[in-house]
Structure 1
Amino acid sequence: MQTDTPDTSDFSATQASDPKMQRGISALDSTGELLLALVSAGRPLSLRDLAAAADMPAAKAFPHLVSLLKVGVLSRDDAGYFNAGPLSMELGLIALQRMSPIRDAEPEIVTLAIESGMSVAVAILGPLGPTVIRFEESARPQHVSLRVGTVMSLVNTAIGRVFAAYLSDDVLIGLLAQESVRLAAANPADVVVSAKKAAPSLAHTYQARRTKVMAHGIDSALDAPVPGIGTLAAPVFDHTGSIGLVVALIGPSGSFDHSLDGATAQKLLAATRRLSWRFGWIGG
């Protein structure tokens, strides 16, 4: 007997990645807008504030919120503020357990390399310092002395300085003691000075650079440590707000815009923000 049940056997990954190609339920789209507004706020919201953040009347938002409360996606405190519910927390924990930063970042890394025409390096903070764990080469050959396993200077490379910007002083000072083992290493004595009673503090110029990196969310290096090569590097944060990865664009210094607010920098920042969001970061 023939039925009108739609055939979903041809539901492909391409279709799934493009919501415009799928017919959804408009009411659930509105529900999603409320959830996104709550996540973006990063704090509990009242009905009025949540509806305003989702750009919809409170009367329209309320039935959606009631349903979300019933299934446990949201909770509501005694003051009437909405927040994540037990089901949201369970789903979040499942996502965190299954999360693999390198695996999940792979599509973004490949796309960034293709769209920018530059090489892309990804580094984590390993036992010896910032360590390259993924290197996607550009279509154009570049003379870059980077490979998987390279440990980067915390002082003289953009990748290292981005990590340094988001580390506490005591952790950073301990890592600087191992600076000699890293690519383009600096003399730790040039960075760390001893104050009275041997209490260590970071040199003023280095601290100023760290502050600048945090203000812009990105750092650059031109013709250093490799002459003729430029780098832009930006952080990826995890659900705790801690730096998890640094992603860097690397290319010939004379052929790309290496300014911190240029088009290439914005492309990199967009990619790292998407990854941070993917890893649970809901910061600014």
Structure 2
Amino acid sequence: MSDTTTASGTQAVDRAALLVSTVVEADTPLAFAEIAEECGLPKSTTSRLLTALERTELLERDPSGAYVAGPLFWRYASRFDPFTELSQLALPTLEAVGEATGETVTLGMPRGDDVVHVAQVDSRFHLGTRDWTQVQVPSHASALGKVLFAYAALPLPDGPLEQLTEQTRVQVAALRADLDGCRRRGYATTVDELELGLSAVAAPVRDHHGDVVAALGISGPTARLQSHLAAHGRLLKNQAEQLTELLVHRRKAGVA
């Protein structure tokens, strides 16, 4: 190989690396013209390199056509952050449940002694619920938390529990009885336990070992949701089982 060929190859790598770093470090997605201008490259060169970077999944285009970090970055990050990996994998499931029910759909995972809301699809109703990804919820008053308690994904508290409403289970014995029902049905429910007028239902998501690693849930106004808790619970149980199958398949395929 000649020195000229080597230099040309090195230049191509340097330019591709510049494109990747420019896009990944940008605060917002970048349009093609913005990338070419910021990197100081001819548009023909920029186009050729971006095509190669898309093909290798280092970059991709969002719905507007602007460039963002590609799937390869997210897969690498998910090796060290299970919250990111599962929330991205579960998004189509959350959207399907939201489409079927119209309610707010959330995915919760255990972190220490708490439930972390890692993904959400908002309600289609005007009277819906808040952005739970920004809220810390006491686990004993949460359907997601009850699921994680029921299957030992969260440690069960051993003392009196905080009373948030008149319906909150404040005795561990009462909470244990509720968790027995969760395991029998395959889903957990709350009615006015976190806030008066708020109900929720959730089902377990398992990993390839069969261990519960997350909970898929619906929440909404009690007046609208209470009469549908059983039907929504069965729907969530089915969707959570499908998400479990997807997790198992990805693990067997060596993706996760």
- TM-score, with normalisation over the residues of structure 1? 0.51
Contact 2:191 2:226 in 1 (8 A): no
Aligned to 2:205: 236
Give the letter aligned to residue 161 of structure 1.
K
1:158 aligns with 2:143: yes
Among candidates 240, 246, 251, match of residue 220 of structure 2: 251
Among candidates 94, 97, 106, match of residue 112 of structure 1: 97
Contact 1:216 1:260 in 2 (8 A): no
Aligned to 2:189: 220
Contact 1:133 1:149 in 2 (8 A): no
Secondary structure of 1:220's aligned partner:
strand
> After superposition, what is the alpha-carbon deviation per residue over 1:193-238, rounded to whole angstroms, capped at 9, x for unaligned?
xxxxxxxxxx422221111111111111123322222211111111
For residue 273 of structure 1, report the CA deviation from its aligned partner: 0.9
Aligned to 1:38: none
CA distance in 2, matches of 1:168, 1:267: 22
Change (3 A) 1:214 1:259: farther
Change (3 A) 1:165 1:231: same
For residue 161 of structure 1, report the CA deviation from its aligned partner: 1.1
Change (3 A) 1:143 1:274: closer
Contact 2:198 2:220 in 1 (8 A): yes
Secondary structure of 2:180's aligned partner:
helix
Aligned to 2:51: none
Secondary structure of 1:256's aligned partner:
helix
Contact 2:199 2:226 in 1 (8 A): no
CA distance in 2, matches of 1:152, 1:253: 18
Secondary structure of 1:278's aligned partner:
helix
For residue 265 of structure 1, report the CA deviation from its aligned partner: 2.1
- TM-score, with normalisation over the residues of structure 2? 0.56
For residue 127 of structure 1, report the CA deviation from its aligned partner: 2.8
Pairing 1:130-279 to 2, within 5 Å after superposition: 130-142=115-127, 144-167=129-152, 171-173=155-157, 184=164, 190-191=170-171, 203-256=172-225, 258=227, 261-262=230-231, 264-279=232-247
Change (3 A) 1:185 1:278: farther
Give the letter aligned to residue 182 of structure 2.
V
CA distance in 1, matches of 2:204, 2:117: 14
CA distance in 2, matches of 1:278, 1:252: 31
Contact 1:135 1:147 in 2 (8 A): yes
For residue 101 of structure 1, report the CA deviation from its aligned partner: 1.3
Change (3 A) 1:112 1:122: same
Change (3 A) 1:103 1:185: farther
> After superposition, what is the alpha-carbon deviation per residue over 1:125-153, rounded to whole angstroms, capped at 9, x for unaligned?
11340111112111213353443142322
Contact 1:220 1:260 in 2 (8 A): yes
Give the letter aligned to residue 157 of structure 2.
I
CA distance in 1, matches of 2:244, 2:153: 20
Give the letter aligned to residue 177 of structure 2.
A
Among candidates 98, 110, 113, match of residue 125 of structure 1: 110
Contact 2:188 2:203 in 1 (8 A): yes
Contact 2:103 2:128 in 1 (8 A): no
Change (3 A) 1:213 1:97: same
How many correspondences in the alignment?
A: 167
Change (3 A) 1:111 1:259: closer
Give the letter aligned to residue 148 of structure 1.
T
Structure with more of its chain in helix, by fraction? 2
